[in-house]
């Protein structure tokens, strides 16, 4: 049964903010000097004791989580001035006043209207005061008191995580730390055992244990193997009240995973493996895969494979596939079925990472036997060498044998082989090969200076199976023969000063040779024999493949001789000796006292003209205009339509062709023999002119054959060639026009071409009787005698 204790508080009525430390006799205020008292009763277990200088309220305790149907009674407020006539009014202020805590303003009773939770608010601070209802003035100073909520065990322990995850290595010792769990209780840890938590394991034994006070989980079983069981689920309980009966509890789940350690060696599932591979497999070709089983995972399951012994240590290799941890057996060298058909290997699988504490479990490696059978295939011919290098002199004759190549069928059948040259590598067909024995010989002459090395490819093909063929490179070097004479390194044109002294060096000569002798070039220089005695210059051989031109006398005169041509003989020192003659042009020039050339007959070529830039541009423009004019004139002449030789039938005239060659006249019988212009063959064959259409057939007049004249024949042939190549020439042979005099002329021939064959003069007076058409001819030929007479 709850018991109530009453506390008596005596207040002095005076100023509200008077210090309680002052004596009562000295307090002065608007209140009467009569001592007053405020009595508060409640469930406080302490009493308010009076001190000499002050008064102190003790705190009140109120149980949380009140479950009664009525308001929970807290205490009573009473003033000694309360006479019970209702003149005083009690008021309450502070935390929860009027809502959570209420006061009867007449009686001063204080009550809690709601259930209180210490975990929400453990302490409430309130203020109480009594005032006069009529005046509203306080009859007591405002006093403060505390209501503290008394805790009960109404909160169970709560873990910081709903689910914990932890790992621990497999094969760990007993007591190995795994993880620590933590639970908290919201109850008051300073009051009773409501917040004292104790841990215990509900699930996970006998593998794990937990410390009751700290919540540390440890291993409890020795040699837990991940390969047998990897996952564990442990349930931990946290209970308050120190674990006693009636305490509240909470649980959490801990998922524990055993991590792997390298405690298992690799093991082959079988002791023997067999594979096959063709002998044509190139190096690096995979043959097969083998795999050892390791119960561990991750890096502890990594395996390295190696060949430890066997007949094929140098023929095969094994590598590790990092993704699948398989051993891949590959070809290391070229296989040959005819040499060896079966290989036996010992392959070892081992862990690269080993933990020393598990070595007692045995060696962490295993071996297996691998047998590899080589299968026969039809192979192409094999040359005796990977490449051939041959040499031949450049003066070798056609069909000279250079060397030979050899290839054989490596198969047991030993099929015959034929040879050929890949013409893509010998486009000029300089070399050929004997298809039976592989001899290489030349089919054209060689020139080392044109091409030093010939790189060709020889093909060997099985006769019975042309698909099987192989190739080999053949390098042929052309050896040098001294078949080229040395020459000047450049064209030499120099000058000599008119006032030059004897033995003065005017030019240094050097030579080159296309040949490449083994001991290097050794040239010698000398004057040509025809110029050795009478030359105005000498040659000095420097014995270093150079020579100098020296003057032989003092002074030269460019007006007497402006240019000298000096023949120089250059010889090599190889066998057979080759030599050539080169000419050096030496011009005589006027020089200053330092020997610098000033003027000579080649001044325009050697020295600048001294013209200004504007003058040079003007000259250049004139040249361009002149060239354009010439081109336009030539184009106009090409476009001009040529008139026919005979305009109409009535217009009878000689076909005159101008050759722009003036002779000595009719009296000059030594210049040209015009009789050569006649073509006797054309007359005899009755050939007709092609430039006109004849009206009737007739027999041409024969002329006596004249003697052959070489100059005229060459002249006619030259003109004929020019007309044949001229695209604007008429489509007939201009030579035929000289053998035809026209059609139906009563005056017969008026041409003077035959006058060279007559001994006397002719009378041309009859031309005046022919009419106005022949007046011009009559004037030309009729006045000849008078001219002569005069």
Q: What pLDDT, in 10s, does the model give residues 511-542?
A: 998 888 878 888 999 998 888 777 889 999 99
Q: Residue 147's closest CA among 47, 60, 46? A: 60
Helix (H) or strand (E) holding 715, with range, is helix 710-725
Cα 78 to the center of its chain, rounded Å: 101
Residue with tokens 């009595």: 39
Distance between CA atoms of 706 and 70, rounded to whole angstroms?
174
- Check pLDDT > 80 for residue 297: yes
Alpha-carbon span 280 to 470, nearest angstrom: 13
Supply the pLDDT for residue 696.
Answer: 44
* Residues forming a β-bridge with 439: 404
Distance spanning both ends of the chain, measured CA to CA: 194
Name the maximum alpha-carbon separation found in the chain.
201
C-beta of residue 528 within 8 angstroms of C-beta of residue 567: yes
pLDDT by residue (tens digit) across 491-517? 999 999 988 889 899 999 999 988 888
pLDDT given for residue 667 in this prediction = 55
Gap between the Cα atoms of 275 and 258, Å rounded: 40
Half-sphere exposure of 440 (CA within 13 A, CB side): 26
Can you give the pLDDT at residue 77? 78
Above pLDDT 70, what percent of the chain? 76
- The boundaries of every CATH 2.60.40.60 domain in the chain are 59-150, 158-259, 272-368, 382-479, 487-599
pLDDT at 614: 77
Multiple choice CATH, 272-368, 1.10.10.60, 2.20.25.90, 2.60.40.60, 3.30.70.3270: 2.60.40.60
Q: Strands 163-169 and 249-259: what pairing?
A: parallel
Q: What confidence tens digit (pLDDT) does each residue in 308-366 have?
A: 998 888 899 999 999 999 999 999 998 888 889 999 999 999 998 888 888 777 788 89
Can you tell me the mean pLDDT for 585-598? 88
d(CA 140, CA 137): 9
The span from the CA of 487 to the CA of 450, in Å, is 17
> What is the mean pLDDT of the segment spanning 15-25?
30
Contact call for residues 747 and 770 (beta carbons, < 8 A): yes
DSSP-assigned letter for residue 573: S
Q: Where are the alpha helices (DSSP H) in 432-553?
A: 529-532
Q: How far is CA 367 from the centre of its chain?
A: 46
Instruction: Tell me which long-range contacts 318-326 makes (C-beta under 8 A, separation of at least 24).
Output: 318/347, 321/289, 324/291, 325/291, 325/292, 325/294, 325/301, 326/289, 326/290, 326/291
CB-CB contact of 463 with 418 (8 Å):
yes
Which pLDDT does position 720 carry in this prediction?
Answer: 80
Average pLDDT, the chain: 78
CB-CB contact of 570 with 488 (8 Å): yes
pLDDT given for residue 54 in this prediction: 30
Which residues are 110's β-sheet partners?
75, 103
Mean pLDDT of 604-610: 44
On the question of pLDDT at 12 being above 50, the answer is no
Q: Does residue 604 have a cis bond before it (omega within 30 degrees)?
A: no
Report the C-alpha gap between 55 and 731 in whole angstroms: 157
- On the question of pLDDT at 633 being above 60, the answer is yes
For tokens 């509203």, what's the residue? Answer: 136
Neighbours of 363 (CB within 10 A): 10
Per-residue DSSP letter, 97: B
Taking alpha carbons only, the member of 290, 352, 296 closest to residue 321 is 290
User: What pLDDT score does 186 carry?
Assistant: 80
CATH class of domain segment(s) 487-599: mainly beta
- Place 16 in a pLDDT band, splitting at 50, 70 and 90: very low
User: What is the per-residue pLDDT for 292?
Assistant: 94
What token pair was written down for 775? 């007046």
State the Cα–Cα distance between residues 368 and 345, nearest whole angstrom.
8
44 pLDDT band, cuts 50/70/90, is very low
Residue 219 · residue 208 · CB < 8 Å: yes
- State the DSSP code for 359: G
| Chain segment 616-629, per-residue pLDDT in tens | 888 999 999 999 99
Q: How far apart are CA 212 and CA 236, in angstroms?
A: 10
pLDDT > 80? residue 562: yes
For the domain bounded by 158-259, which CATH number is listed? Answer: 2.60.40.60
Q: Which CATH superfamily is domain 59-150 in?
A: Cadherins (2.60.40.60)
Helix (H), strand (E), coil (C) string for 112-174: ECCCCCCCCCCEEEEEEEEEECCCCCECCCCEEEEEEEECCCCCCCEECCCEEEEEEECCCCC
pLDDT at 690 over 50: no
Q: Which residue has the higher pLDDT, 349 or 695?
A: 349
Tell me what the mean pLDDT of segment 457-485 comes to.
92
Q: Measuring CA to CA, which residue among 255, 350, 257 is closest to residue 307? A: 350
Mean pLDDT of 428-439: 94
Q: What letter would DSSP give residue 616?
A: H
The phi and psi torsions of 735 (rounded to 5 degrees) equal -70, -30
Q: What are the pLDDT digits (tens) for 224-273?
A: 989 899 999 999 999 988 877 878 889 999 999 999 898 888 999 999 99
Q: What angle do CA 227, 230, 236 make, to 5 degrees?
A: 150
What CATH class has 382-479? mainly beta
Would you state the pLDDT for residue 280? 86
Q: What is the pLDDT of residues 77-88, one digit of tens each?
A: 777 777 778 788
When computed from its CA atoms, the radius of gyration of the chain, rounded to whole angstroms, is: 69
């Amino acid at each position: 049964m709850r018991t109530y204790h009453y506390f008596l508080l005596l207040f002095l009525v005076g100023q509200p903010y008077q210090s309680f430390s002052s004596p009562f006799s000295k307090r002065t205020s608007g209140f009467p000097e009569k001592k007053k008292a405020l009595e508060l009763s409640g469930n406080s277990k302490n009493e308010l004791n009076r001190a000499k200088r002050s008064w102190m309220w003790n705190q009140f305790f109120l149980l949380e989580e009140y479950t009664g149907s009525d308001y929970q009674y807290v205490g009573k407020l009473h003033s000694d001035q309360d006479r019970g006539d209702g003149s005083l009014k009690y008021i309450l202020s502070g935390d929860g006043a009027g809502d959570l805590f209420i006061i009867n303003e007449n009686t001063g009773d204080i009550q809690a209207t709601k259930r209180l939770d210490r975990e929400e608010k453990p302490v409430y601070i309130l203020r109480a005061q009594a005032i006069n209802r009529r005046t509203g003035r306080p009859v007591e100073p405002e006093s403060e008191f505390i209501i503290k909520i008394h805790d009960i065990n109404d909160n169970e322990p709560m873990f910081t995580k709903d689910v914990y995850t932890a790992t621990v290595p497999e094969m760990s010792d007993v007591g190995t730390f795994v993880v620590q769990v933590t639970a908290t209780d919201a109850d008051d840890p300073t009051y009773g055992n409501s917040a004292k938590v104790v841990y215990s394991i509900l699930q996970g034994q006998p593998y794990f244990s937990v410390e009751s006070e700290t919540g540390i989980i440890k291993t409890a079983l020795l040699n837990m193997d991940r390969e047998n069981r990897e996952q564990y689920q442990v349930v931990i309980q946290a209970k308050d009240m120190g674990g006693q009966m009636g305490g509240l509890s909470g649980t959490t789940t801990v998922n524990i995973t055993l991590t792997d350690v390298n405690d298992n060696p690799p093991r082959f599932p079988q002791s023997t493996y067999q594979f096959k591979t063709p002998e044509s497999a190139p190096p690096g070709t995979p043959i097969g895969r083998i795999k050892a089983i390791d119960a561990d995972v991750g890096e502890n399951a990594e395996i390295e494979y190696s060949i430890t012994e066997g007949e094929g240590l140098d023929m095969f290799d094994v590598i590790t596939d990092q993704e699948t941890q398989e051993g891949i057996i590959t070809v290391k060298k070229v296989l040959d079925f005819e040499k060896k058909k079966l290989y036996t290997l010992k392959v070892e699988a081992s862990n690269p990472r080993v933990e020393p504490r598990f070595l007692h479990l045995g060696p962490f490696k295993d071996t297996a036997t691998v047998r590899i059978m080589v299968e026969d295939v039809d192979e192409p011919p094999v040359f005796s060498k990977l490449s051939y290098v041959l040499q031949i002199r450049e003066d070798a004759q056609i069909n000279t044998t250079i060397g030979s190549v050899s290839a054989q069928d490596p198969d047991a059948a030993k099929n015959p082989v034929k040879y050929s040259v890949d013409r893509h590598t010998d486009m000029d067909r300089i070399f050929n090969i004997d298809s039976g024995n592989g001899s290489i010989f030349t089919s054209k002459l060689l020139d080392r200076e044109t091409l030093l090395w010939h790189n060709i490819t020889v093909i060997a093909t099985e006769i019975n199976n042309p698909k099987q063929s192989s190739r080999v490179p053949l390098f042929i070097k052309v050896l040098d023969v001294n078949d080229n004479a040395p020459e000047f390194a450049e064209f030499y044109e120099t000058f000599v000063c008119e006032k030059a002294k004897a033995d003065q060096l005017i030019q240094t000569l050097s030579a080159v040779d296309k040949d490449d002798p083994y001991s290097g070039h050794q040239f010698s220089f000398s004057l040509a024999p025809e110029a050795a005695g009478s030359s105005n210059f000498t040659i000095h051989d420097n014995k270093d493949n150079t020579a100098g031109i020296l003057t032989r006398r003092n002074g030269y005169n460019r007006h007497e001789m402006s240019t000298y041509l000096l023949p120089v003989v250059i010889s090599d020192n190889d066998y057979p000796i080759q030599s050539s003659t080169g000419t050096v042009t030496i011009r005589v020039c006027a020089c200053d006292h330092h020997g610098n050339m000033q003027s000579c007959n080649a001044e325009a070529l050697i020295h600048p003209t001294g013209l200004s830039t504007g003058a040079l541009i003007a000259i250049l423009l004139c040249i361009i205009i002149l060239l354009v004019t010439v081109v336009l004139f030539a184009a106009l002449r090409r476009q001009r339509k040529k008139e026919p030789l005979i305009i109409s039938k009535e217009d009878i005239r000689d076909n005159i062709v101008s050759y722009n060659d003036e002779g000595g006249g009719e009296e000059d019988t030594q210049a040209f023999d015009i009789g050569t212009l006649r073509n006797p063959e054309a007359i005899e064959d009755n050939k007709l002119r092609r430039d006109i259409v004849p009206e009737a057939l007739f027999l041409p007049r024969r002329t006596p054959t004249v003697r052959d004249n070489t100059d005229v024949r060459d002249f006619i042939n030259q003109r004929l060639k020019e007309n044949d190549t001229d695209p604007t020439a008429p489509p007939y042979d201009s030579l035929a026009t000289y053998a035809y005099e026209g059609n139906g002329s009563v005056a017969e021939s008026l041409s003077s071409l035959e006058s060279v064959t007559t001994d006397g003069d002719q009378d041309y007076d009859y031309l005046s009787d022919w009419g106005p058409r022949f007046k011009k001819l009559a004037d030309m030929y009729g006045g000849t005698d008078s001219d002569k007479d005069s």
